[in-house]
Each structure stands twice: as C-alpha cells, then as structure tokens.
Amino acid sequence: MYLSARARIILEKILSKKQDLSVSELAHWLNVSERTVRRDLEEVRQTLAQFELVLDKKGSRLSVTGAEENRETILRTLLQNGKHEFTPFERKQQLLQILLKKTEPVKLVSLAYELGVTVSTVSSDLSHIEEDWHGKLRIKRRRGIGVVLEASITIKRELIRELIFQLIPKIKLQHYFSHPDLSAASPEEFNFLSAFINFDSLKQTDYVLTRWMKKLPYEIQEDSYLHLLLYLLIAVKQMELGQFAAEKEDQPIFIQDYPEYDIAERILQDTLPEFSIPETEKTELTMQILESEIHTGEAVFYRNEKVQAIRIAKKLISRVTRELGLPLAEMPLLLGLSEHIQYSLVRLKKNLPPNNPLLSLIRSEFGELFDSVHKIASELYPFPALPEEESGFIVLHFEAAILQAENLRPYSALVVTSRSNGVTTWIRAKFKKRLPKLQKMKFVTPLELTKETDFEKYDIILSTTELSDFSMDYEWISIFISDEEIAKIEAKLEQKVSAEKKHASGSKSLI
C-alpha cells in the first residue's frame, strides 16, 4: 500500500483519535495550508474505503466510521509499512531520490515521516549531502515552505548517475540495458529508473550511441560506455522535459575543433530529431566522450591538445591528492596545470626536451611529492617515458596549490559562553565580520564544557567567563570583543598554523 507522507500522517491522526478533528488542526500539525489538506483527503478517503471505512466530513470536522477491527487493521498495516530502518548512507540515498524527483519544495516533516526518523536527523542528513558534494549543490530550507535541491542541470545528471550506480550493480544495469525485454530489473528498480530515464527510447539511444562511437579512431572501455549511455539517457529525458544544460564560465576553448564534438552533435540529432539541440548540450556530451577511458587507439592525438591536457590534469590531481592526502585549492590548480600540460604535450610530441634547472632542488625539497607525481604522470602521459624535468614543473604547480590551500585554511573554535541565543548570535556575527577565517564555531556552556573530550580538533578555545578548573589553554574574551582581542586571537591562530607547518616539514625530513 503506497501512500504519500502527508496522507499517511492524516490517516494516523484521524484513526488514533476517537473524537473528530478539524481541517485547520491537521493543517497546523502538517505546517501546510487547509487547501493542501483538503486535496490530500481524497487519497485518505480512497485508502479508508479499501478497509471498509468511511471518512465523514461535517463542515470542517473529520471523523472515521466503520468496524473497530477494520480501524485496527489499517493502523497495523500503516505501522508495518513504516518499520524499515535505513542506515545513514541509505537515508541520504533516499533523500536524494526524493529531492531529485521533486520540482516543488518538500516538507521536512514529510521527509522525516517517510524515513522513520526525526526532523533534526533529516536536517543533519541534508547538511551531510551538501558536504559530500563539496558545494556543487545546495539544499535550500525555507521555513513553512520546505526544502528544495538547488543544483545545475549538469550536476543533477551527475547526481542521478552516481545514485543509480550506488543502488544498482553495474553488471545488472549493463545486462538490463542489453536485454530490456527480459525484465532483468525488479519492479522497485524499474520504478526507480523510470523516474530518471525513458525506457521507450533505450534501444534507439543505445543503437545511435554505438553507431556513432564506432566512427572515432579509438574504442572506449566497456565500463566507460555504460557511463556514457547512462549519461545520455538521463540527458535525453531532461531535454524532453525542457531542462537544458546552462553555459559555463569555464567553457572549453576550441571544443568544436575535435572529432568528438562532431560525433556528439550527430548522436544528439539522431536521438532527438525533433529538437533544436543547444551548443551547451553538444559541449557537455563532447566532454563526456573525451573523459571516457580509451580501450584501443591510446596513441591518438587530438587536433588540439587542450582537452587531452584537461583529462590528464584531472586524473593527476585526483590520484596524487588521494595518495598523499593533500589539502588543495583544486580549481586554480586544474586551470594552471591544464595549461602547462597542454604546452608540454606539444613540446614532447615534437621531441623538444624540457630544460628544468631547478630539478635537483625540487627533488631535494619535495621528494615524496616528486616521486608520487612522476610515477602517476608517467602513467597518464601518452609517451613511453616522461622526462623528470617535466615532472619537476608539475610538482611546482602542486606545491603552489598546497600553499594557497593552507592560506585559505578555515579556523575552528570552541566558544564557552552562556546559553543565551543573543550572545552566541552576536559573537558569531562579530567574528564573521572581523575574522572571517574563523568559520567553524561550537558554542557550549561551562557545564557542557565538562562533557567535551576531544579538544585537539579545535584551533583555539575562547571563553567569556573565567574557567577556574579548566586545565587546557584558552583565551578570555569580552562579550563585545575589542579590536585588540581580535588581533590577539588572529596572531595565536597564525602561530598554530606555522607550528603545524614546521612539524609537517620536520616529519618529512625524518622520512
């Protein structure tokens, strides 16, 4: 028995009370308008009828009539349907599914009921989703209206594709796409996929993609083909709904010069013959093709090395940062590194040896970083051997990004003060204006301070009161926070970062 979250709540409320309820009471409970409640009553009425119960409406008062045993049966059914418990990871998957399907705001109370958790748990899960995607999407919360997912069309496609791969194994998905008539997907999987792709166009889309990809001078890997097909299916459904990719500020230059652009244009024209395909969609599909893993024809050079350089730079950044756990300002690094690699590809292609007079100093100063970069770059560059001089230049790009990331490092503070919301709001606003790098602040009372165990995760501890029995180092601040106090706190934070850098460099030299 499927019910919307609001209809389920209305049913439980009406059935659990012996006396009647008003529409306004339900609207207040659900935090929606009375008009919305009245729209939901038809679903409630139909559900009750399945259990031989009747929804009576006298004016604006509602009640249920029918046998007591039928009331107990429907309540038991509602309880059983709501028993499934999700892990935090599963909850985030479920939340993404709901938000990606909806175009209108969804009430937090509805999401909480759907998942069988509290509103605060849902709110926390939504924040974690935003953190997982590193600012690429935003979940907007509006009091009295609900929550809505805010992200570009291309990010939504990326989200949907990743969500599908999380919920359905690639082998099963591949088998289903190859044999859609065999019903390889379960009803739940079919319903889930149907929300994001059009099964009626699956065969045609697969045929068109296969046909035109054969025109390229190389063959992509099977796994990459699945990624590409799924992207295209998602994009086609969105375009059919009038949802097109927007132009980006960092749109690739000379993208029309690549054979992949011509192939992408033909694929889209043949898949959606009745549509006028915008340049942004052709560019997005071109980039998807270019980012595919090449299976054969690896030595093929494009007429322009720019996109090849972007592909190498992206993979190099991803693998080096993962291997060494580096904090990086990724976007400036990608832009600078892509440009450098583009010109190095031209030089190396023409057998022009690089000259790097700083190579010995780079190897000496950044030994671990150099070894990692040289090993990974040698695997990514389309040449039998990569000169160490070239790796040395790449290391300098990484080191510059590391320094920038350290300078942008946000500070964190544990602030001990009264429970007053006014005081905490004032302090937070003051620091936001005068010391914006102090981005993470946790406010606790002196009593709550005794329950804190991990003080190392904070860069500084601040208190508006004297802490007589507190053994950790802390800074006393006045509620109004003077300029001198701000300067003192900033100096202390900078000393901490400097000490961390010295410790890190000392550890490297010991290795």
Angle at CA of residue 70, ends 64 and 76, nearest 5°: 105
Q: Residue 18 has what DSSP assignment?
A: S
At 59 the pLDDT is 81
Cβ atoms < 10 Å from Cβ of 112? 18
Which residue is listed with tokens 């190859």? Answer: 178
Total residues found in the chain within this entry: 511
Task: Kindly report the CATH number that applies to the domain delimited by 156-296.
Answer: 1.10.1790
Q: Residue 255 has what DSSP assignment?
A: G
Of 182, 178, 226, 180, which is closest to residue 199 (Cα–Cα)?
180
Q: Is residue 329 helix, strand or coil?
A: coil
Question: Do 338 and 310 contact (CB within 8 A), yes or no?
Answer: yes
Q: Is residue 62 helix, strand or coil?
A: strand
Of 221, 379, 340, which is closest to residue 291 (Cα–Cα)?
221
Domain with CATH 1.10.1790.10 in the chain: 306-407
Question: Do 275 and 239 contact (CB within 8 A), yes or no?
Answer: yes
At 229 the pLDDT is 96
Question: Do 10 and 48 contact (CB within 8 A), yes or no?
Answer: no
pTM of model > 0.75: no
At 500 the pLDDT is 65
Tell me which architecture the domain covering 306-407 has in CATH: Orthogonal Bundle (1.10)
Question: Do 470 and 445 contact (CB within 8 A), yes or no?
Answer: no
Of 423, 439, 437, which is closest to residue 477 (Cα–Cα)?
423
DSSP string, 132-184: HTTTS-EEEEETTTEEEEE--HHHHHHHHHHHHHHHS-HHHHHHHHH-GGG--
Question: Do 365 and 508 contact (CB within 8 A), yes or no?
Answer: no
pLDDT in tens, the chain (511 residues): 556 667 777 887 888 777 788 888 888 777 678 888 888 888 888 888 888 888 888 888 888 888 888 888 887 776 555 545 677 888 888 999 999 988 889 988 888 877 877 788 888 999 989 888 877 789 998 887 889 999 999 999 999 999 998 888 888 888 888 876 655 556 777 888 889 999 889 999 999 999 999 988 778 888 889 999 999 999 999 999 999 998 876 555 556 767 888 999 999 999 999 999 999 999 999 888 877 766 554 444 444 567 788 888 888 988 888 888 765 655 567 878 888 888 788 778 777 777 888 888 889 888 999 999 999 999 999 888 899 999 999 998 888 877 766 655 678 899 998 766 667 878 888 888 788 778 889 999 888 888 888 888 898 999 988 888 888 899 999 887 888 888 899 888 888 767 765 555 454 444 4
Question: Do 255 and 307 contact (CB within 8 A), yes or no?
Answer: yes
Tell me which architecture the domain covering 88-151 has in CATH: Orthogonal Bundle (1.10)
H runs (alpha helix) in 272-366: 279-290, 306-324, 330-349, 359-365
At 406 the pLDDT is 60
What own/partner pairs with CB < 8 Å and gap ≥ 24 does 152-159 have? 152/245, 152/246, 153/238, 153/243, 153/244, 153/245, 153/246, 154/245, 154/246, 154/284, 156/100, 156/238, 157/231, 157/234, 157/235, 157/238, 159/96, 159/100, 159/133
Q: Is 116 left (phi over 0), alpha (psi -120 to 50) or beta?
A: left
Of 271, 268, 249, 248, which is closest to residue 260 (Cα–Cα)?
268
480: exposed, middle or buried (C-beta count within 10 Å: 0-12, 13-18, 19+)? Answer: exposed
Which residue is listed with tokens 């969804």? Answer: 106
Question: Do 489 and 443 contact (CB within 8 A), yes or no?
Answer: no
Angle at CA of residue 498, ends 497 and 503, nearest 5°: 95
Q: Which residues contact 16 (CB under 8 A, 6 or more apart)?
A: 75
Beta strands 146-150 and 219-220 are unpaired
Angle at CA of residue 496, ends 491 and 497, nearest 5°: 100
DSSP string, 356-370: -TTHHHHHHHSHHHH
Q: Is 186 left (phi over 0), alpha (psi -120 to 50) or beta?
A: beta
Task: Kindly report the CATH number that applies to the domain delimited by 5-81.
Answer: 1.10.10.10
Of 372, 398, 314, 383, which is closest to residue 345 (Cα–Cα)?
383
Task: Kindly report the CATH number that applies to the domain delimited by 411-508.
Answer: 3.40.50.2300
Q: Which two tokens stand for residue 370?
A: 């150099």
205: Cα within 13 Å, side-chain hemisphere: 23
At 231 the pLDDT is 96
At 173 the pLDDT is 87
Domain with CATH 3.40.50.2300 in the chain: 411-508
